[in-house]
Amino acid sequence: MDFTIILQAGIASGTVLLFATIGELFSERAGVLNLGVEGMMLIGAMSAFSTTIATGNPWLGVIVAMLFAGIISQIHAFIVITLQGDQVVSGLSLTFLGAGISLVLGDGLSKAGTVALLPNFSMPLLNLIPILGKIFFTDQSVLVYIGYLLVPLAWYYINRTRPGLHLRAVGEYPSAADALGINVFRMRYFYVFVGGMLAGLAGATISLAVSPGWFSELTTGGQGWIAIGLVIFAQWDPVRAAVGSYAFGALRRLILDIQGPTMLLGFANPFYYNPYLGFFLQMLPYLFTVVVLVIGSREAMRKRIGAPAALGNPYIRGERGK
Amino acid sequence: MAESKSITQRKPLRIRVEPRLSEPPAWYPAAISFGALIIALILGGVLISLAGGDPILSYKHIAKASFGDIGVLSDTIVKATPIILAALACSVAFRMKLWNIGAEGQFIMGAFGASVIVLAPVLPAETSRWIFIPVMMMAGMAAGALWGFIPGYLKAKFNVNEIISTLMLNYVAVAWMNFWIFGVWTEGGFQMSPKFPQTAWLPRLLEYAKSIPAFRGLTTHLGLVIGIVAAVILWFIIFRSRWGYEIRLIGDNPQAAKYAGINITQNVIWVMMLSGALAGLGGMSEVTGVVHRLQTAPIAAGYGFTGIIVAWLAKLNPIVIIFVSILFGALILAGREIQPSGVPKMIQGIILVCLIASDFLLRYRIVISRGEE
C-alpha cells in the first residue's frame, strides 16, 4: 500500500465533506441549523448526474445541482425563518423529502452507464513538491482545487469582511443586528441558500467526480450527517472544517484500500482473509464522528466557545432576548 | 362619479398575522394536522404526475391494497406494528426535546438481541414458546436500551449532540448486524441467519384458524398486542406519573425544571434508555413475528425513521400513535408496488414538511379584515 496514493484519493473524497461542511457552517453562523444536508446532497448528486446524461455537459450538471439543492433548502428556510417552526424537525423532514424526491426523479438512473465527468488535472510546478505535490496537486478533479480556494475565501469572508461581520452578528445577536439596520430575515434566507448550494455541490462532487454514478441513497451513505458533526468539531471555523473533512476523506479511502493486499505491515492481512471483518472497518467513520464530537464538545466546554448564540432559535421582531 | 370613486377607494383586504394569546380549542390541533395531511397528499399527487405517474390511480391503489379486504388489512396491521413501537420510542424522547434519531439502530439492536437467544443459542429450540417470548422480549429491550444508553451518556457527560451520535450509531448497528449475519450465523453463505424454530415465533392469528375459520391466512401477530400495551403503559407514564411530569417539564421548560430540583442529566440517560428499549422491542417483534430470521433488508427497512414522522404527526400522544401507525403501515404496504419506488418515501417527506409548517397555525392566527388595523 502506497500511503501517498491513499491520501491523494482521500483528499478527493474529503472534498465532498468539505463542501457540505462549509455550507452548513455558513447556515449555522447565520443562526439556522439545517439537518437536511443529507437530503440536499442526494438532490445534488441526482440532478448533477441526470443533467449530465441529458446534456453531456458536466458543468451544467454542477450548476443545476447547486440551484436545485439551493431551492430545496428554501423550504427549510421558509419553515424556520418565516413560520418559526422547529429547526430540528424541519431539517429532518428536508432530509426525508430530499431523499424521496431524488429517489423518484433518479429512478432508472443507476442503469444509465457512464457520463462525461469533470476533468482531472495536475497543477503545474506545485505537483513537483515532494510528497505533498503528489498528494494535493497531482491528477485531482477540478472540484478539489475549487475546494482549496473555498477554505481561505470562506475564512476571510467570515472574519475579515463587512458582510461576514453582519453574518456573525445575525447568528450571535440578531436583535442587535436588526437594530443596526441589517435585515436578519433576508440574511438568514440567503445563507441557508448558500448552505443548500454547497450541499448540492457536494452531491455533484460525488456523482461526477469522486465515485461517479447514482446509487440511490447509498450515493451519500450518511456523509451529510458526518458533515453536520464536523461543523461542531470545527467549532464553526472553515480552516478546522477543512482539516476534519480531509482527515475523514483519508479515513474513508484507507478503509476501502486496507482490504485489498494479502500482507499488511508484514503480517497476513486479517481483513483480506476474513472479509466479514470489513464490517468493523465500515463502522469506523461513524464511530470516529462520535469520538470527534466528544473531543469537540469537551474542548468547547473548556474554552467556553460554542455554537453561534442564536443557533436554533427563530428571530421574532420585538421580542426580548437574543 | 362620486359613487364610482367610493368604490375605488374601498379599502383592500388586509391579511394580518397575530400571535395567539389563548389556547386554541382541543379539536383545533387535530384539525390542523388533518388539513396538513390532506395538503401533503395533494402536493404528493402533483409531484407524482410531474414524474409521469397518475396520482389518483396511485392513491386508489394505496387504499385498495391496504384496506381493501380483511387479508390486506391484516397485512397493513403487520406493517404498522413495528412502526407503533418505533414511534413510541421517538415520542418519549421528543417529549423531553431529546432528538433521538437512532430508533432505527436501536430497532436493529433489539432484533439482534432477540436473535442471540435463538442463535447463540441461549435457549434450546425445544423450549416452550411462553418462556422463549418473554426472554426474547427482555433481550431485545436490553440491547435497544444499551444502544440508547450510549448517546444518552455522551449527552449527559460531555454534552455531545444526540442527533448526530444517535444517527451515527444507526450505521454502526447495520454494520454490526451484517457482521453477524455474514460472518457467524450465515445460512449456507446467504445473507441471512437460519430460520428460527417455531417455538421462537410470536403467535399469529392464522394458527387459530382451526377454531375460528375467519382467521385463515391472517398474519397479524402478538406484536400488535405488545405495541398497544406499550402505548397504554407509556400514556400512563407520561400523563399520570411523577416521572412523566418531570419529562414533560424538562421538555417544556428546562430552566424551570432545573429550579424545581429535577435531575436533568439523569433523566437524559433514563429517557434515552427507555426510548431505546421501546425501539428494541419493536425490532424483537419484527424478527420473531414476521421475518423469523435475522436478515438485513427486512429489519433495517427504515421503521425507525418512519417512527419519527408518526410520532410528530400524533403530536407525541402514545394512543394516537397507534392509529397514525396504521395509516403509515398502509402507505408502506401499498407503496411496495408503486413505481417509481421512492414514492412512499417522498410522500412521507412531504407529510412531515406540511406538518411542521402547519404548526405555525397553532401559535398564530391569521386575521383577514377590510380596512386599516
In SS3 terms, B165-232 reads as HHHHHHHHHHHHHHHHHHHHCCECCECECCCCCHHHCCCEHHHHCCCCHHHCCCCCECHHHHHHHHHH
Maximum C-alpha span of chain B: 98
- The CATH code of the domain that includes B131 is 1.10.3470
pLDDT above 60: residue B6: no
Q: Are B327 and B372 found together in one domain?
A: no
Say whether residue A276 is in contact with chain B using an 8 A CB cutoff: yes
CB contact under 8 A, A96 and B342: no
Q: At what angle do helices A223-233 and A184-205 cross, to 10 degrees?
A: 130
For residue B2, name the pLDDT band (cuts at 50, 70, 90). Answer: very low
Cα(first)–Cα(last) distance of chain A, in Å?
Answer: 53
Residue of B nearest to A290 (CA): B165
Q: Are B334 and B348 found together in one domain?
A: no
What is the pLDDT averaged over residues A216-232? 89
What are the pLDDT digits (tens) for B213-242?
888 888 899 999 999 999 999 999 999 999
What are the pLDDT digits (tens) for B191-221?
889 999 999 999 999 888 888 888 888 889 9
Give the A:B interface size as CB pairs under 8 Å.
150
Looking at the domain assignment, is residue B154 inside a domain? yes
Residue of A nearest to B50 (CA): A105
Looking at the domain assignment, is residue B176 inside a domain? yes
Average per-residue pLDDT for chain A: 89
Looking at the domain assignment, is residue B21 inside a domain? no
Rounded Cα distance between B305 and B279, Å, is: 11
Q: What is the dihedral of CA B59, B62, B65, B66, to 10 degrees?
A: -130
CB contact under 8 A, A290 and B169: yes
Looking at the domain assignment, is residue B18 inside a domain? no
Would you say B364 and B20 are in contact if contact means Cβ atoms under 8 Å apart? yes
Q: Are B92 and B165 found together in one domain?
A: yes
CB contact under 8 A, B312 and A89: yes
Average per-residue pLDDT for chain B: 88
User: CB pairs under 8 A, 24+ apart, for B35-42?
Assistant: B35/B358, B36/B351, B36/B354, B36/B355, B36/B357, B36/B358, B37/B313, B37/B351, B37/B354, B37/B355, B39/B354, B40/B347, B40/B350, B40/B351, B40/B353, B40/B354, B40/B355, B41/B347, B41/B351
Q: What is the pLDDT of residue B8?
A: 54
Q: Å from B173 to nearest chain A CA?
A: 8
The beta-carbon neighbor of B360 closest among A83, A89, A106 is: A83
What are the pLDDT digits (tens) for A1-44?
678 888 999 999 999 999 999 999 999 999 999 999 999 999 99
Looking at the domain assignment, is residue B62 inside a domain? no
Contacts of A287 in chain B (CB under 8 A): 168, 172
For residue A271, name the pLDDT band (cuts at 50, 70, 90). Answer: confident
CA angle, B165 as apex, B160 and B171 as ends, to 5°? Answer: 165
CB contact under 8 A, B167 and A225: yes
Residue B336, SS3?
coil
For residue B290, name the pLDDT band (cuts at 50, 70, 90). Answer: very high
CB contact under 8 A, A279 and B168: no
Looking at the domain assignment, is residue B6 inside a domain? no
Q: Are B348 and B332 found together in one domain?
A: no
DSSP result, A109-172: GGGS---PPPPEEPPTTGGGSTTHHHHHHSSEEHHHHHHHHHHHHHHHHHHHSHHHHHHHHHHH
Q: At what angle do helices B129-158 and B103-119 cross, to 10 degrees?
A: 140
Interface test with B, best of A72, A218, A293 (most B CBs within 10 A): A293
- Structural domains of chain A, with CATH: 3-303 (1.10.3470)
Q: Are B119 and B261 found together in one domain?
A: yes
Q: Are B269 and B151 found together in one domain?
A: yes
Say whether residue B347 is in contact with chain A using an 8 A CB cutoff: yes
Say whether residue B161 is in contact with chain A using an 8 A CB cutoff: yes
Say whether residue B243 is in contact with chain A using an 8 A CB cutoff: no
Domain range enclosing B33? 27-51+344-373
Q: Are B141 and B33 found together in one domain?
A: no
What is the pLDDT averaged over residues B8-37? 78
Looking at the domain assignment, is residue B163 inside a domain? yes
Which residues numbered 26-65 in A keep a CB inside 8 Å of some CB on B? 35, 39
CB contact under 8 A, B164 and A289: yes
CB contact under 8 A, B47 and A104: yes
Q: What is the pLDDT of residue B83?
A: 97
Residue with cell 492481512: A269
The beta-carbon neighbor of B346 closest among A94, A101, A282 is: A101
Q: Å from B169 to nearest chain A CA?
A: 7
pLDDT above 50: residue B179: yes
Contacts of A229 in chain B (CB under 8 A): 161, 164, 168
Q: Are B357 and B209 found together in one domain?
A: no
CB contact under 8 A, A96 and B357: no
CB contact under 8 A, A289 and B101: no
The beta-carbon neighbor of B353 closest among A75, A102, A229 is: A75
Contacts of A225 in chain B (CB under 8 A): 164, 167-168
Q: Are B274 and B182 found together in one domain?
A: yes
Which residues numbered 30-89 in B keep a CB inside 8 Å of some CB on A? 47-48, 51
Q: Are B303 and B353 found together in one domain?
A: no
What are the pLDDT digits (tens) for B58-71?
788 878 888 888 88
Report ipTM for this prediction: 0.85
How many other C-beta atoms can be found within 10 angstroms of the C-beta atom of residue B59?
17
In SS3 terms, A197-256 reads as HHHHHHHHHHHHHHCCCCCHHHHCCCHHHHHHHHHHHCCCCHHHHHHHHHHHHHHHHHHH
Q: Which three cell numbers stand for residue A99?
A: 431523499
Look at A4-8, A266-270, B275-279 and tell me which has the smallest mean pLDDT: A266-270
Q: Are B100 and B148 found together in one domain?
A: yes
Q: Å from A135 to nearest chain B CA?
A: 29
Looking at the domain assignment, is residue B10 inside a domain? no
DSSP character for A56? Answer: S
Say whether residue B348 is in contact with chain A using an 8 A CB cutoff: yes
Q: How many domains does chain B have?
A: 2
Q: Å from A164 to nearest chain B CA?
A: 26
Q: Are B203 and B296 found together in one domain?
A: yes
Say whether residue B265 is in contact with chain A using an 8 A CB cutoff: no
Q: Which helix (H) or strand (E) holds A60?
A: helix A58-77
